[in-house]
């Protein structure tokens, strides 16, 4: 914990997992690099938590392998894996003090008392809770409980750190500060970390790379910017930021079997005569820095966001407008 | 919820208060008063308690009772712990079997099987005869206090099992997964995480067992153990008379122990309400047992099941036996005992049905009324009714019986007979004893009914009284019916208060008849036949009550 341990990589290949008739993970393959802050991002029910639990040993796959530092972990029960997991509910034991909670894993490893005390103090110091060692979990705020859960996990110096929606039980303000803390802690420890979330902003702000998941499959892996700029399919385009999706009925040439995708802020409004995409404004929302228009094109509605400066002229609902979209901003994705 | 205090509600509350006052508070207060009064009606004094402390017999009896109750808790825990662990943490088909065990103590109180257990496990009982023949040794299962402990433990361990299993199931699974993730597993994980978190449930069950055993009169007496506190209270009053203060002093001590146990329980539980089931919760994924473990698990379950069923099996054997002594099994079988109890002893059965029926009706009416007043009105002091009714939990049956005897013996009817000798007094005592349970059932039934259903009726023009009659009562029927049947079933085997109050055999219920018959070797067969009939009555009632609850749940679309 003091000295950054040698970071460990994770290889997941050909994983299929079913609970009865429900196919939860389908042919999942991922490669997580040593020291990386990696996110599993997707809507609820996409299999991201199951994949995390598979790595921790709380779920069994029917096929495929999970390699930790090149070693297959399938034969290892959860208590022999050395992967630290921070639970969504924190799972702090209410019958133990904060210090006892943090000491638990060290006691299970039969370390000498002095060593345990030293590492408990160090872990609590790292998360800034040294003054709370003798409190009970119920006496702490949600953010403090979360830090105890992290301290308890990193005290055992795990090979990798798994975070299961660690911010979901915090209020909006806490989330921003806690995620920065998590990021800086991970940087200091150099620990390979997997972060499970359904919130794209959380994933974008603190993770090196993201695996976007839906319906049990990995849709795309990449850095936040790669995913935003070059989504591999409609799901990824829609899940990271908002996207307008048009088919061939829109009035512009679209390759067959594909859809035209573009971001609201990449288009501008112009006169209807000069643009192939045109239609009436159906809604207008003033957002401060931008104005968001909804424009009906054929059967679809697209959103256009234009910067707002004082004095600039706004379109009204019912106005016929054209949508000016530069060719380099057009994405053609499989339907 | 309307806050109008209607005159009807006030009258109802006063009537209930009067009932509880006369049939619970006054008798108990009388017992306490007599305990602190000099013999012969002098002033207040502590001299009776000093006498109690100076009498070797009483002090010995007190410690015997403490020892027996504590050891019962220990042995009951030894039986309950592995079963609770097995059924809540493993994929185990025997789990259903174990769950049904939870109902057995309700079906048969321990005194019913006492004599049968002597015949099975006594010095010359079946098991010891076989042990002696095969291995040349005997085990003193039933010797003295051990017999009481043995019998009580196998009867009451399900109270611990049920509470502990529920507590274990309510632990959020991440609690144990986190421990596994940090390197813990198996029994060590159970000891460090699961058990401490389930401790409140365990303590609730254990303290219940402690109090029930401490207050039990009939089981020690049937095993011929007299040097325990509750039997001493009974013997003192019945052999020396109702003027002797020691019976009252012992009664006060019994109540103090019950209250102290409940208080200590509350104290230990304080701050330990680990409701850890959170969102994303659910129990720990149950582990599959390996074949060897599975065999071991079944062996444990079958062993415990055999123990639990032993009194029942023994009772059935005894009820059909011609002669059964100094042999593993009866010498021959006969229906004579059943003919006898269904013939001349049928008055016991008739009385039981009458008493239990009346007592259960009183309980449901009063319990339902208190629940309504507490949950649906704003009458001042309504909570007192609940508290008063619930204090019955801390009053041992023998104490209530003594209180009735003392408080109502001086009250004479127009024809000169004391009020305390009337059979209806037995009914009232049973009703008071069962009231707390009926009250909980009524609360549960009423809490399921949304207040808006009543407000809708009032909004459409129904008065309070008519709303109760046309909306509340019909919706509560299932719950109240279940409360009635449970009260009826447990009232049918109530003995400790009855033992004191029965004046003549013709007024005696089945439990009393069983107790009397079991005293003599000649009566045992008939006693056992009565016991079997009692068990059947109770078992049928339990089944009916389950049916009533299921049906009313389904009728309201509350599929469970």
The ipTM assigned to this model is 0.79
Tell me the per-residue pLDDT of A76-121, one tens digit each, with 9 for 90 and over.
888 888 899 998 888 888 888 999 999 999 998 899 999 999 999 9
Look-up of token digits 């609201």: A264
Tell me: pLDDT of A3 over 60: no
Residues of B whose CB is below 8 A from A151: none
Give the sheet arrangement for strand A300-307, strand by strand.
A268-270, A320-324, A277-286, A290-297, A300-307
Contact B280 A91 (CB under 8 A): no
What phi and psi, each to the nearest 5 degrees, are found at residue A288? 100, -90
CA distance A170 to chain B (A): 14
Same domain, B278 and B340: no
Interface test with A, best of B91, B176, B183, B192 (most A CBs within 10 A): B183
Chain A residue at shortest CA distance from B194: A93
Q: What is the C-alpha separation between A190 and A209, in angstroms, rounded?
A: 15
What is the sign, positive or negative, of the torsion defined by CA atoms of B343, B348, B354, B360? negative
Tell me the per-residue pLDDT of A158-176, one tens digit each, with 9 for 90 and over.
989 999 988 888 888 888 8
Interface test with B, best of A80, A84, A87 (most B CBs within 10 A): A87
Q: What is the C-alpha separation between B56 and B234, in angstroms, rounded?
A: 18
CB pairs under 8 A between A and B: 75
Give CA B271 to chain center in angstroms.
28
- Considering only the beta carbons, identify the residue of A78, A91, A156 that sits closest to B172: A91
- CA terminus-to-terminus distance, chain A: 48
Q: Which of B284, B305, B334 is the last residue of a domain?
A: B334
CA distance B78 to chain A (A): 23
Q: Does B407 touch chain A (CB under 8 A)?
A: no
- How would DSSP label each residue in B92-132? -TTHHHHHHHTTHHHHS-HHHHHHHHHHHHSTTSHHHHHHH
Interface test with A, best of B174, B177, B178, B276 (most A CBs within 10 A): B178
What's residue B482's pLDDT? 79
Chain A residue at shortest CA distance from B189: A108
Same domain, B467 and B490: yes
Chain A residue at shortest CA distance from B174: A91
Of chain B residues 260-279, which have a CB less than 8 A from chain A?
272, 274, 276, 278-279
Q: Which CATH number is B286's domain given?
A: 1.10.3720.10
Same domain, B327 and B461: no
- Asked if residue B58 is part of any domain, the answer here is no
Same domain, B372 and B321: no
Looking at the 3D structure of chain B, how many domains does it have? 2
What's residue B559's pLDDT? 41
Chain B residue at shortest CA distance from A94: B274
H or E element, residue B309? helix B291-320
Tell me the CA distances in angstroms from A99 to A123, A125, A130, A157, one per residue in order: 10, 11, 9, 16
Q: What is the C-alpha separation between B543 and B555, in angstroms, rounded?
A: 18
Same domain, B94 and B186: yes
Same domain, B353 and B483: yes
What's residue A288's pLDDT? 86
Tell me the per-residue pLDDT of A295-309, one tens digit each, with 9 for 90 and over.
998 888 899 998 888
CA distance A172 to chain B (A): 19
Same domain, B327 and B356: no
- Asked if residue B47 is part of any domain, the answer here is no
Contact A94 B172 (CB under 8 A): no
Interface test with B, best of A45, A90, A93 (most B CBs within 10 A): A93
Q: What is the C-alpha separation between A333 and A244, in angstroms, rounded?
A: 12
Closest CA to B177 of B275, B92, B89: B89
- Asked if residue B43 is part of any domain, the answer here is no
Q: Which two tokens stand for residue A171?
A: 């209020």
- Asked if residue B1 is part of any domain, the answer here is no
Closest CA to B374 of B7, B9, B45: B9
What's residue A2's pLDDT? 46
Classified as helix, coil or strand, A305 is strand
Domains and CATH numbers, chain A: 10-238 (3.40.50.300), 243-334 (2.40.50.140)
Same domain, B153 and B281: yes
Look-up of token digits 């047992």: B289
Same domain, B381 and B290: no
- Asked if residue B35 is part of any domain, the answer here is no
Residues of A whose CB is below 8 A from B280: 88-89
pTM: 0.79
Same domain, B215 and B233: yes
- Asked if residue B451 is part of any domain, the answer here is yes
Tell me whether strands A209-214 and A37-41 are parallel, antiparallel or unpaired: parallel
Q: Which of B315, B334, B353 is the last residue of a domain?
A: B334
Burial readout B46-57 (b: 16 or more C-beta within 10 A, e: otherwise): eebeeebeeeee
Contact B178 A95 (CB under 8 A): no
Q: At what angle do helices B382-391 and B346-376 cross, to 10 degrees?
A: 150
Look-up of token digits 């939860």: A24
Q: Which of B302, B334, B366 is the last residue of a domain?
A: B334
Same domain, B474 and B327: no
Residues of A whose CB is below 8 A from B172: 89, 91
Same domain, B413 and B475: yes
Closest CA to B224 of B238, B215, B235, B208: B235
Tell me the per-residue pLDDT of A319-332, one tens digit each, with 9 for 90 and over.
888 888 888 888 88
Residue B291 burial by Cβ neighbours in a 10 Å radius (0-12, 13-18, 19+): exposed
Of chain B residues 166-195, which have a CB less than 8 A from chain A?
172, 174-175, 177-185, 188, 192-193
Q: What is the C-alpha separation between B7 and A318, in angstroms, rounded?
A: 67
pLDDT in tens, chain B (560 residues): 444 567 888 888 999 999 999 999 999 998 888 888 887 667 788 888 888 888 888 899 999 999 999 999 999 999 888 888 888 878 777 777 777 766 676 677 888 888 888 888 877 777 877 887 788 787 877 788 888 999 999 888 888 888 888 888 888 888 888 999 998 888 888 889 888 888 888 898 899 899 989 998 888 988 888 899 999 988 988 888 778 888 889 999 999 999 999 899 888 887 776 655 544 444 455 677 778 888 888 888 888 888 888 888 888 888 888 777 777 787 778 877 888 878 877 888 888 889 999 999 999 999 999 998 888 888 888 888 888 888 888 889 889 989 988 888 777 777 777 777 788 889 999 999 989 888 888 888 888 777 777 777 778 778 878 888 888 888 888 778 878 887 888 888 888 888 888 888 888 888 888 888 888 888 888 888 888 888 888 888 878 877 877 777 676 654 43
What confidence tier does A5 reach under pLDDT thresholds 50, 70, 90? low
- Asked if residue B225 is part of any domain, the answer here is yes
Look-up of token digits 């859960």: A149
Q: What is the C-alpha separation between B237 and B394, in angstroms, rounded?
A: 20
Contact B181 A78 (CB under 8 A): yes
- Asked if residue B101 is part of any domain, the answer here is yes
Q: Which two tokens stand for residue A164?
A: 């299961």
Chain B residue at shortest CA distance from A106: B182
Tell me whether strands A160-164 and A290-297 are parallel, antiparallel or unpaired: unpaired
A202 close to A167: Cβ distance less than 8 angstroms: yes
Per the structure, the complete domain to which residue B68 belongs is given by 64-334
């Amino acid at each position: 914990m003091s000295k950054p341990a040698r970071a460990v990589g994770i290889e997941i290949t050909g994983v299929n997992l079913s609970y009865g008739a429900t196919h939860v993970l389908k042919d999942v393959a991922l490669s997580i690099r040593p020291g990386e802050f990696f996110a599993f991002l997707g809507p609820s029910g996409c299999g991201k938590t199951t994949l995390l639990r598979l790595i921790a040993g709380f779920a069994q796959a029917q096929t495929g392998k999970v390699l930790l530092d090149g070693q297959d972990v399938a034969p290892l029960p959860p208590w022999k894996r050395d992967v630290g997991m921070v639970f969504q509910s924190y799972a702090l034991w209410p019958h133990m003090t904060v210090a006892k909670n943090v000491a638990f894993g060290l006691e299970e490893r039969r370390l000498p008392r002095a060593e345990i005390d030293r590492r408990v103090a160090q872990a609590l110091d790292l998360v800034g809770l040294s003054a709370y060692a003798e409190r009970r979990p119920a006496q702490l705020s949600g953010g403090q409980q979360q830090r105890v859960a992290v301290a308890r996990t990193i005290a055992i110096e795990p090979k990798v750190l798994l975070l299961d929606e660690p911010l979901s039980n915090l209020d909006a303000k806490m989330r921003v500060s806690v995620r920065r803390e998590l990021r800086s802690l991970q940087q200091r420890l150099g620990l390979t970390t997997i972060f499970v979330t359904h919130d794209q902003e959380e994933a974008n702000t603190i993770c090196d790379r993201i695996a976007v998941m839906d319906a049990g499959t990995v849709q795309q892996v990449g850095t936040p910017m790669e995913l935003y700029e070059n989504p591999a399919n409609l799901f990824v385009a829609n899940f990271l930021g908002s996207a307008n999706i048009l088919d061939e009925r829109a009035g512009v040439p679209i390759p067959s079997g594909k859809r035209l995708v573009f971001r609201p802020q990449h288009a501008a409004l112009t006169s209807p005569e000069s643009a192939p995409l045109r239609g009436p404004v159906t809604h207008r929302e003033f957002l401060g820095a931008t104005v968001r228009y909804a424009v009906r094109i054929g059967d679809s509605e697209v959103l256009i966001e234009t910067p707002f400066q004082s004095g600039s002229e706004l379109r009204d609902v019912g106005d016929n407008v054209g949508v000016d979209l530069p060719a380099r901003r057009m994405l053609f994705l499989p339907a | 919820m309307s806050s109008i205090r209607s005159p009807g509600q006030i009258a109802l509350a006063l009537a209930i208060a009067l009932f509880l006052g006369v049939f619970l508070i006054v008798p108990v207060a009388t017992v306490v008063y007599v305990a602190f009064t000099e013999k012969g009606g002098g002033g207040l004094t502590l001299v009776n308690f000093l006498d109690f402390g100076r009498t070797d017999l009483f002090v010995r009896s007190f410690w015997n009772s403490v020892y027996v109750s504590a050891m019962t808790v220990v042995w009951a825990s030894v039986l309950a712990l592995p079963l609770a662990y097995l059924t809540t943490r493993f994929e185990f088909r025997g789990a259903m079997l174990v769950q049904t065990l939870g109902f057995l103590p309700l079906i048969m109180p321990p005194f019913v099987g006492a004599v049968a257990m002597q015949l099975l496990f006594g010095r010359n009982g079946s098991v010891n005869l076989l042990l002696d023949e095969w291995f040349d040794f005997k085990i003193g299962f039933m010797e003295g206090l051990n017999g009481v402990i043995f019998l009580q433990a196998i009867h009451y361990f399900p109270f611990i099992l049920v509470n502990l299993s529920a507590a274990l199931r309510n632990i959020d699974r991440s609690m144990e997964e986190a421990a596994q993730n940090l390197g813990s597993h198996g029994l060590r994980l159970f000891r460090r995480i699961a058990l401490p978190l389930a401790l409140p449930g365990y303590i609730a069950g254990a303290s219940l067992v402690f109090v029930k055993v401490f207050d039990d009169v009939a089981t020690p007496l049937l095993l011929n153990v007299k040097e325990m506190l509750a039997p001493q209270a009974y013997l003192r009053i019945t052999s020396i008379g109702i003027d002797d203060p020691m019976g009252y002093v012992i009664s006060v001590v019994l109540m103090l122990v019950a209250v102290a146990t409940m208080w200590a329980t509350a104290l230990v539980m304080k701050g330990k309400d680990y409701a850890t089931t959170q969102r994303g919760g659910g129990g720990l994924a149950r582990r599959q047992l390996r074949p060897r473990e599975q065999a071991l698990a079944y062996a444990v379950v079958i062993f415990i099941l055999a123990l639990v069923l032993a009194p029942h099996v023994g009772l059935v054997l005894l009820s059909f036996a011609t002669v059964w002594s100094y042999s593993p099994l009866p010498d021959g079988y006969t229906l004579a005992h059943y003919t006898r109890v269904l013939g001349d002893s049928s008055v016991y059965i008739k009385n039981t049905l009458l008493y239990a029926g009346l007592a259960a009706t009183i309980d449901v009416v009063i319990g339902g009324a208190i629940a309504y007043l507490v949950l649906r009105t704003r009458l001042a002091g309504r909570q007192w009714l609940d508290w008063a009714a619930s204090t019955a939990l801390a009053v041992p049956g023998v104490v209530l019986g003594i209180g009735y005897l003392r408080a109502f013996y001086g009250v004479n009817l127009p024809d000169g007979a004391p009020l305390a000798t009337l059979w209806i007094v037995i009914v009232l005592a049973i009703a008071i004893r069962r009231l707390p349970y009926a009250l909980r059932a009524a609360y549960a039934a009423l809490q399921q009914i949304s207040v808006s259903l009543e407000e809708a009726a009032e909004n459409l023009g129904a008065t309070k009284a008519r709303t109760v009659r046309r909306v509340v009562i019909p919706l509560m029927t299932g719950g109240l019916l279940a409360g009635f049947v449970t009260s009826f079933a447990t009232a049918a085997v109530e003995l400790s208060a009855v033992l004191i109050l029965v004046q003549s055999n013709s007024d005696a219920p089945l439990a009393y008849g069983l107790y009397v018959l079991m005293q003599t070797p000649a009566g045992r067969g008939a006693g056992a036949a009565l016991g079997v009939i009692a068990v059947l009555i109770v078992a049928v009632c339990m089944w009916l009550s389950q049916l009533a609850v299921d049906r009313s749940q389904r009728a309201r679309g509350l599929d469970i």
